[in-house]
Amino acid sequence: MVVTEIGKTVLLGDLTRKQAENYITASRLMGILNDAEFEESLREIDRIWTEKENKVSVLIFSCDSYSDVWGPFFTLFFRYWDCPYKVYLAAETEQCLLPEVKTINVEADTWTERIRKCVEELPSKYVICMCEDMFFRRPVKQDMIDTCIQYMDENPNIACFNFEKEYGWYEPSDYPDFGRKPDRSAYRNSCQPSLWRKSILEEMLSVNTSPWEWETSTAENPYEFYVFTGEADDLAFEYGYHNNKWFGIQKGRWVIHDVLPLFKREGIEIDYSIRGIV
């Protein structure tokens, strides 16, 4: 906690790391904090964000053949998310050269085996997963993520909060804007942006199969899976997926009506001839 002006306090943990550092720097320059208080606040920031980094990781599902997509993906990822967590990328042999991203290289016979081995290397209790062709369109709603983490802290039986807009059947739940996926229903496992309990994700990936078979599995398990049921404007991650319409990349090719205006607006240049368009 740091005093930023007379009679006002700010909880450092409610801010991004950059905001917290800016606050205490401004407070020191204004004379509100002395040298000792400033140094203590810096240590508190480091403690808070070390704890956050050890609690949650982000894993981007990808592969070598999609390495050309990493540039536009991470441009929009970091533009629209001041991500407080360590970011990892799953690929077979290629390396992402961004300093903010650590690549986990694993080769395996099946997709689930490869992703499971990547997940096993993560140091955190929870992991936010998504694919590399989900291009952000607006700022990420960190407050929703924080709320879901709190729910999972309170209920160890929760496997996952899926942040995609639900378009199928779901059951009412005690969690605002989220419905519970019925037992033995498909798409409890999802490659859409989701917050997972790492230990359960490893278990769900234990059968060696493809990503499509993994998502449609109806195997029985005792865990709770939730999916976003609120308004589209309230999505934690807005990446262009609405009402089953094609977006980003489909069948390995750029969905040109979606990405062309997006990348033009964002100042991203792409050679569409390399991957092709649909």
pTM (predicted TM-score): 0.84
pLDDT at 242: 81
pLDDT at 5: 46
Specify whether the CB–CB gap between 242 and 166 falls below 8 A: no
Domain boundary among 53, 78, 96: 53
| Number of domains within the chain | 3
**What is the side-by-side strand order in the sheet with 101-105?**
101-105, 86-91, 56-61, 126-131, 194-197, 158-165, 224-228, 178-180
Asked if residue 123 and residue 38 are part of one domain, the reply reads: no
Q: Cα separation of 181 and 189, whole Å?
A: 10
pLDDT at 16: 72
Both tokens assigned to 135: 């291009």
- Domain enclosing residue 272, as ranges: 246-278
Asked if residue 231 and residue 131 are part of one domain, the reply reads: yes
**Nearest Cα to 237, choosing from 47, 48, 44, 81?**
81
What does the pLDDT profile of the chain (278 residues) look like in tens digits? 444 444 456 666 667 777 888 888 888 888 888 988 888 888 888 787 777 667 999 999 999 999 999 999 999 999 999 999 999 999 999 999 999 999 999 999 999 999 999 999 999 999 999 999 999 999 999 999 999 999 999 999 999 999 999 877 899 999 999 999 999 999 999 999 999 999 999 999 999 999 999 999 999 999 999 999 999 999 999 999 887 789 999 999 999 999 999 999 999 999 999 999 99
Asked if residue 253 and residue 267 are part of one domain, the reply reads: yes
Asked if residue 253 and residue 198 are part of one domain, the reply reads: no
Asked if residue 179 and residue 141 are part of one domain, the reply reads: yes
Specify whether the CB–CB gap between 85 and 148 falls below 8 A: no
Asked if residue 76 and residue 97 are part of one domain, the reply reads: yes
Asked if residue 78 and residue 13 are part of one domain, the reply reads: no
Asked if residue 199 and residue 105 are part of one domain, the reply reads: yes
Asked if residue 37 and residue 74 are part of one domain, the reply reads: no
Asked if residue 194 and residue 85 are part of one domain, the reply reads: yes
Q: Cα separation of 5 and 192, whole Å?
A: 42
pLDDT at 7: 44
Domain boundary among 37, 53, 69: 53
| CATH code for the domain of 200 | 3.90.550.10
pLDDT at 13: 65
pLDDT at 10: 63
Asked if residue 66 and residue 143 are part of one domain, the reply reads: yes
Q: Cα separation of 228 and 232, whole Å?
A: 9
Asked if residue 219 and residue 157 are part of one domain, the reply reads: yes
